Amino acid sequence: DAKTTQPPSMDCAEGRAANLPCNHSTISGNEYVYWYRQIHSQGPQYIIHGLKNNETNEMASLIITEDRKSSTLILPHATLRDTAVYYCIVNRDDKIIFGKGTRLHILP
Amino acid sequence: GAGVSQSPRYKVAKRGQDVALRCDPISGHVSLFWYQQALGQGPEFLTYFQNEAQLDKSGLPSDRFFAERPEGSVSTLKIQRTQQEDSAVYLCASSTLAGYTGELFFGEGSRLTVL
């Protein structure tokens, strides 16, 4: 079973920041938080991952709470091409389990 | 391109037929994974190879499913005596790192429909 809990769907207006939450209250000290997304009819695409510190790359920012029990993926300026299912995963040395993710709709 | 390539993209099989799905990972990638994705669900783990060694096959749903990677590069997922419940998208992913950590690069998948 997935170790994370995500809302099944979210809406975001185009051009606004999309903030996708994830709860992982049972995360272990050495487990990373990974985010992937899956655009319709494509394979999942890696976005970002982190352990304790906040992380940023060209796609997104990852904010992890101090107790590491939850995190937020931020897409700073959402576009229609960001419409996808977003998966939050915690993992260290075991198979990656995807769960059902959050279906993000970007509204024009 | 230099990404993970899967073939065929679409396969229709009659119930009871055998099918073979091919995955060409990114050159030099050590790890290779197979996932099964049913309609409306997230991908589910099937099996993991490190080079030519199949280190984890805990997700294979039955003994009708068989995967191999004989030379540590191309992999084939074979499904014998296909059943309707095998209808799904089969995704292959590869990674530069050994083990389960690190970024996975996925192919576009092979969509199997069993009639």
Residue found under tokens 């037929």: B17
- The DSSP bridge pattern shows strands B75-79 and B88-95 to be unpaired
pLDDT at B33 (0 to 100): 97
pLDDT at A92 (0 to 100): 82
- Walk along chain A (108 residues) and give the pLDDT tens digit of each residue: 668 999 999 999 999 999 999 999 999 888 999 999 999 999 999 999 999 989 999 999 999 999 999 999 999 999 999 999 999 999 888 888 898 999 999 999
Cβ–Cβ gap A100/B41 under 8 Å = yes
pLDDT at B86 (0 to 100): 98
Q: Does the pLDDT value for residue B107 go beyond 70?
A: yes
Q: What tens digit of pLDDT does each residue of B18-62 get?
A: 999 999 999 999 999 999 999 999 999 999 999 999 999 999 999
Q: Does the pLDDT value for residue B72 go beyond 90?
A: yes
Q: Does the pLDDT value for residue B1 go beyond 80?
A: no
What average pLDDT is seen over chain B?
Answer: 95
Closest residue to B103, CB basis, from A46, A94, A97: A46
- What is the sign of the dihedral through the CA atoms of B58, A46, A12 and A61? positive
Measured between beta carbons, the chain A residues lying within 8 angstroms of B9 are none
pLDDT at B99 (0 to 100): 87
Mutate to test the interface with A, among B10, B96, B103, B110 (most CBs of A within 10 A): B103
As to burial, measured by CB atoms within 10 angstroms (0-12 exposed, 13-18 middle, 19+ buried), residue A52 is exposed
